[in-house]
């Protein structure tokens, strides 16, 4: 299973048991001595939860994915590692158009996390490739020339990400897949993200509950996926398609189609127009992106489709997404507190910069690289489904959105009803 939690300890146990049987057959006398040593040896290469036994052991800190909070206080624990490390940490972000998150949250939160751990501005650099894979490649090479010891790669697509990681590895630069897994990436990388299958499941469940809350009689659902070159898009789809399948199978819902996916809102708008023209019975849309949902919703409003009749979904808790929820055109959005992801990635990068492995206490899962057929040790954070019911207690409380910007005249009464002040 992709993005599986580390319940894989069961696998490890099975493996050592098999080993024990073999050893027993060879010579029972060796058993006691070898079982211990060999099981820890075999698991250190396959189980990220097992720390190496000697030499390269990471500095032990009391830091886990649950340590990160909105005040960034956990980052101070990393100061000794920062002192030990050298070289630049280069962050490569993908674009500014498919989601506001990269410039609005990732850049400032990564900066804050690095500084809270004691890095100076000269120790890290955050670039945005503005949608161009060749720009990202150039930025990566520039970082390496400047003495980077770690690259955090949020790739535009796996092919270009893998090329960046191969070139980094050849020069002894460690890599982290940030948010999106690079299929075929460097063999020893760490992946830092939210649990993306969970993201998709939240979207699927949100659509189901909205269909019943808005009393949609015969749901005819158009599934609008994210960009197929982004591994996350497949994981999101795995999540929501898994939730919706039983409803399609028992014919409670009709799946109208699942056309080629995109992260570009203007392309999503064209896709929706074409699909809606061909299938005017579409009365619900599933999409894992607020900006794509917004492109659909703009058309619904032009068509004078009433609020709370046509469920749509989204992700990233963008202002327009949250406003569309308040207006009754979007059921909810997946909120990923980027401050958690930024701190986790910064912590992992700081270990690598110090020449150590990422601490096993930080690793809480594995993610399948379907190209390399490997399980990539992962730090997976927990996303939240946000509706009008919990908007005040989540995104507003976290200041992920500013109330005056959110509660414009068009949604003022909905804000008040949702207790957003």
CB closer to ligand GAL, 256 vs 297: 297
CB closer to ligand GAL, 263 vs 329: 263
CA dihedral 62, 65, 69, 71 (to 10 degrees): 60
CB closer to ligand GAL, 58 vs 365: 365
Between 192 and 231, how does the x/- string for binding to ligand GAL read (CB under 6 A)? ----------------------------------x---x-
Smallest separation, CB 273 to ligand GAL (Å)? 21
Smallest separation, CB 95 to ligand GAL (Å)? 7
241 binds ligand GAL (CB under 6 A): no
CB closer to ligand GAL, 123 vs 225: 225
Q: Which of 229, 232, 359, 366 binds ligand GAL (CB under 6 A)?
A: 232
Smallest separation, CB 194 to ligand GAL (Å)? 7
**Which of these, 57, 144, 33, 102, lies nearest to 360 by C-alpha position?**
57
CA distance 346 to 117: 9
101 binds ligand GAL (CB under 6 A): yes
CB closer to ligand GAL, 90 vs 321: 321
CA dihedral 369, 133, 180, 203 (to 10 degrees): -120
**Which of these, 284, 204, 290, 193, lies nearest to 239 by C-alpha position?**
204
**Contacts made by residues 246-254, CB under 8 angstroms, sequence distance 24+:** 247/208, 247/219, 252/219, 253/211, 253/219, 253/220, 253/221, 253/284, 254/218, 254/219, 254/220, 254/221
What are the start-end ranges of the E strands in 195-317?
A: 220-223, 254-257, 284-286
Smallest separation, CB 383 to ligand GAL (Å)? 9
How many angstroms separate the Cα of 376 from the Cα of each of 31, 193, 281, 372? Answer: 31, 12, 42, 10
Smallest separation, CB 164 to ligand GAL (Å)? 17
Between 157 and 196, how does the x/- string for binding to ligand GAL read (CB under 6 A)? ----------------------xx----------------
Smallest separation, CB 34 to ligand GAL (Å)? 44
How many angstroms separate the Cα of 367 from the Cα of each of 12, 97, 199, 200, 284? Answer: 16, 27, 14, 15, 31
| DSSP states along 14-60 | HHHHHHHHHHHHH-HHHHHHHHHHHHHHHHHHH-TTSPPSSSSPPPP
CB closer to ligand GAL, 117 vs 334: 334
Smallest separation, CB 181 to ligand GAL (Å)? 10
**Using CB atoms, what's the residue nearest to ligand GAL?**
99
- Residues between 261 and 280 that touch ligand GAL (CB under 6 A): 263
* Helix (H) or strand (E) run with residue 107 in it: helix 107-116
How big is the chain by its Cα radius of gyration, in Å? Answer: 23
289 binds ligand GAL (CB under 6 A): yes
Q: Which of 165, 207, 316, 375 binds ligand GAL (CB under 6 A)?
A: 316
Applying CB under 6 A, what is the total number of residues that bind ligand GAL? 12
Beta partners for residue 375, in sequence order: 368
CB closer to ligand GAL, 43 vs 294: 294
- Residues between 71 and 100 that touch ligand GAL (CB under 6 A): 98-99
Between CA 190 and CA 199, with CA 194 as vertex, the angle to 5 degrees is: 140
290 binds ligand GAL (CB under 6 A): no
Per CB under 6 A, residues contacting ligand GAL are 98-99, 101, 179-180, 226, 230, 232, 263, 289, 315-316
């Amino acid at each position: 299973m992709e993005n599986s939690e580390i319940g894989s300890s069961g696998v490890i146990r099975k493996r050592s048991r098999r080993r024990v049987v073999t050893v027993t057959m060879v010579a029972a006398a060796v058993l006691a001595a070898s079982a211990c040593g060999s099981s820890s040896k075999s698991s250190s290469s396959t189980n990220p939860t097992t720390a190496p036994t000697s030499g390269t052991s990471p500095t032990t800190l009391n830091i886990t994915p649950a340590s990160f909070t909105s005040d960034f206080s956990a980052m101070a624990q990393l100061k000794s590692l920062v002192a030990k490390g050298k070289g630049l940490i280069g962050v490569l972000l993908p674009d500014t158009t498919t989601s506001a998150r990269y410039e609005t949250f990732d850049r400032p939160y990564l900066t804050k996390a690095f500084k809270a751990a004691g890095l100076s501005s000269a120790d890290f650099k955050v670039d945005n490739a503005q949608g161009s894979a060749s720009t990202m490649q150039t930025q990566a090479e520039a970082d390496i020339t400047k003495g980077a010891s770690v690259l955090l790669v949020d790739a535009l697509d796996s092919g270009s990400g893998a090329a960046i990681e191969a070139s980094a590895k050849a020069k002894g630069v460690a890599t982290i897949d940030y948010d999106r897994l690079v299929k075929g990436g460097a063999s020893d990388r760490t992946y830092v993200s939210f649990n993306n299958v969970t993201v998709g499941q939240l979207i699927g469940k949100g659509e189901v509950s909205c269909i019943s809350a808005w009393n949609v009689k015969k749901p005819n659902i158009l599934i609008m996926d994210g960009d197929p070159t982004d591994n996350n898009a497949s994981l999101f789809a795995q999540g929501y398609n898994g939730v919706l399948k039983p409803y399609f199978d028992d014919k409670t819902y009709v799946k109208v189609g699942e056309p080629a996916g995109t992260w570009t809102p203007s392309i999503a708008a064209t896709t929706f127009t074409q699909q809606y023209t061909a299938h005017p019975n579409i009365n619900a849309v599933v999409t894992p992106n607020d900006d794509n949902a917004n492109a659909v919703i703009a058309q619904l409003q032009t068509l004078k489709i009433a609020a709370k009749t046509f469920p749509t979904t989204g992700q990233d808790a963008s202002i327009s997404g949250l406003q569309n929820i308040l207006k009754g055109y979007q059921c909810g959005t997946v909120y990923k507190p980027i401050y958690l992801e930024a701190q986790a990635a910064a912590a992992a990068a700081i270990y690598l910069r110090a020449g150590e492995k990422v601490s096993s206490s930080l690793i809480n899962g594995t993610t399948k690289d379907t190209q390399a057929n490997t399980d990539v040790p992962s730090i997976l954070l927990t996303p939240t489904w946000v509706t009008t019911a919990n908007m005040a207690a989540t995104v507003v409380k976290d200041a992920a959105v500013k109330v005056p910007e959110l509660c414009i005249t068009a949604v003022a009464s909905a804000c008040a009803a949702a207790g957003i002040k």
